[in-house]
Amino acid sequence: MIISPAAGWAQTSPQTLERVDPPAPEASPDPPPEAPDSPEDLLPEQPPEPPAETPSDLPPGVLATEIRVTELRFEGNEILSNDSLQQAILEALARDFATLDPAERDEFACEPPFEPPVWTPVTQTVAQLLRFAEVVAACYAAEGYTTSGAVIQIPTETRGGTGPVDILVIEGELESVDITGRQRLNEGYVRSRLHLDEGQPLNIDRLQENLQLLQIDPLVQQIRAELNAGAAPGSSRLLVDIEEARSFDLSLALDNSRPVSVGTAQQQVFARESNLLGIGDALSLGYTHSEGSDALSVGYSLPINARDGRLSLRFDPTRNDIVDADFFDINRDGEGPDIESRSQLYEISLRQPVMRRVDAQTFQELAIGLSGSLRNSQSFLLGDPFPLSPGASVTGKTRVVALRFFQDYTLRDARQVFSARSQFSLGLGILDATVNNSVEGVGAIPDSRFFAWQGQLQWAKVLAPDTLLLLRSDLQLADQVLLSAEQFSLGGASSVRGYRQDQLLTDNGLFASAEVRLPVARIPTWNALLQVTPFIDFGTGWNSSGRGNPDENTLASVGLGLQLLQGDRNQLTARLDWGIPLISVDSGGNSWQEKGLYFSVVYNPF
């Protein structure tokens, strides 16, 4: 028996990875974080260990012995077929594999032939036969199985100088996986995301990518991986050391982005535990208060598979009281508010990434999802149920039941974040949803039966240190008139600045915005950065057939903002925007919003 060195039987040494923030479904307007380390940095290949016997160790007379090979017989190969390996050896003979440089050998691929290859008897020396094993190892390495190799065996029947040659393929297996450093994170969570099975052939390329994807998991602060030789030839032992990231977040915020009717100034508190039971499940609680409104948000999400599929539940009850001076005390009895509303949102959703890829220092994700929602609302006038919005029942109630199919795409690297989202919404007339029949002589009446599509694009690009370009766009198209909860909103801090919140509500709409964030000062004693943010916003809306358009259905503005970022992780963010309307709209009020001024302060203590 002759043993050939298996090129690529390499083991690896430990490699430390720095923290990389996870990509969100929608790109953040903040500068993109540092891109993931390249896969080669995670498990750098080392030179193969010297084999027990090399061709140079064999007597020259043995190496020069000629054998007429009448057949190649493969054993032990499951990943690559006999035809693929034989075709590769035929190509190697045609290209003279021995003369190829190392780079050309690394690129040597083993493609499945269209037709079974025909082996023609060929005379080879023993030294040349050893190259057959190198070809097999190169084929496996090209597919990512760099710990696999082959052994050449000369059967007894061939030792007379003519006959078949056996090639024993050793597909390098993963002997064991040891995970250390965990605290609250379940071992199964980590192990399942490596997508490794002990006792199965080890694909180094896939292992590198899976480690990269695990590194950008929000529950992982740092990961170290070490691949060592196992007990059997070609086998490996993987040691993964995990440093967990902080899983609890708390955010406090103050801004003036609520509608004027319920009081523009609002206070918010939001808490999230991203690893509640140690399995990557998340519980979030939020509370928002303004002069005339209180809103609670409760959410829970649970990973359902190792490819980041998630099942999410949400419950949002809201109370709104009209505190606008013109409507606070309608009956002039000295008491108010006289107009009130209550609503509850119930939602269940399933989101599943269908593509997650790390290529060099670029991360990409494509996900699809389906959600079902039920929204109840009721309005009151002077304490009695009363319909105040189109489509409501005589008791002021509306119920919307909808199925939504959405698609998300995110691309992130060290210089940019691009995100795109598409959502199809189908309103249903089930579960006692609001259903209104048409009335002759009356315009279209909205109800829970509708079909709408919404698309969103966002691109954040780093132009220079602390300098960011942010582009955003939203589009909604509906097939009929919609209830107010489903309409497209324009005006406000996150829409067309310079106008009050929800200045324009329509069935269809388009919004676009461009903003540049430029550094103007650093404050070392505060560890703070001050940026100036010129922007331009545009939006237009129109109603579906059966409902007239607003007199002014287009909004546009230019403006300037100041943003202060403080702390290594931007623990404090303060912002002031001044928007100048380019199209005059009578808002009839004197609030900061209606003067084009918006402010926000967000504090993250942890």
Q: Is residue 56 part of a domain?
A: no
- Over residues 237-295, the pLDDT tens digits come to 999 999 999 999 999 999 999 999 999 999 999 999 999 999 999 999 999 999 999 99
Tens-place pLDDT, residues 201-249: 999 999 999 999 999 999 999 999 999 988 888 889 999 999 999 999 9
- Whether residue 252 is contained in a domain is answered as yes
Q: Which two tokens stand for residue 537?
A: 């916003």
53 within a domain of the structure (yes/no): no
234 lies in some domain: no
Q: What is the DSSP-derived secondary structure letter of residue 12? A: B
Centre a 10 Å sphere on the Cβ of residue 147 and count the other Cβ atoms it contains.
Answer: 31
Tell me the average pLDDT across 525-554. Answer: 94
Judge whether 504 lies within some domain: yes
pLDDT at residue 422 above 90? yes
- Domain span holding position 527: 248-603
Classified as helix, coil or strand, 455 is strand
Better-scored residue on pLDDT, 15 or 35: 35
Q: Return the pLDDT at 122.
A: 93
Span 425-467, pLDDT tens digits: 999 999 999 999 887 777 789 999 999 999 999 999 999 999 9
CATH number for position 590:
2.40.160.50
Q: What is the C-alpha R_g of the chain?
A: 33
The Cα–Cα gap between 512 and 514 comes to 7
CB 73 within 8 A of CB 85: no
SS3 per-residue string spanning 41-54: HHCCECCCCCCCCC
How many domains, in total, are found in the chain? 1
Sheet holding 162-170, edge to edge: 122-125, 66-75, 162-170, 149-153
> How far apart are the C-alpha atoms of 204 and 216, rounded to whole Å?
19
Give the residue from 143, 76, 147, 148 showing the smallest Cα distance to 110. 143
Which pLDDT value is given to residue 388?
A: 93
Which of the four pLDDT bands, split at 50, 70 and 90, describes residue 4?
very low
Query: How far apart are the C-alpha atoms of 471 and 514, rounded to whole Å?
Result: 5
pLDDT higher at 333 or 476? 476
48 domain-assigned: no
Residue with tokens 């080392």: 46
The Cα 284–Cα 272 span in angstroms is 4
pLDDT band at 17 (very low <50, low <70, confident <90, very high): very low
Mean pLDDT value across residues 308-324: 97
Q: Please, which pLDDT band fits residue 306 given cuts at 50, 70 and 90?
A: very high
Is 459 domain-assigned?
yes
276 within some domain: yes
Helix (H, G, I), strand (E, B) or coil at 126: helix
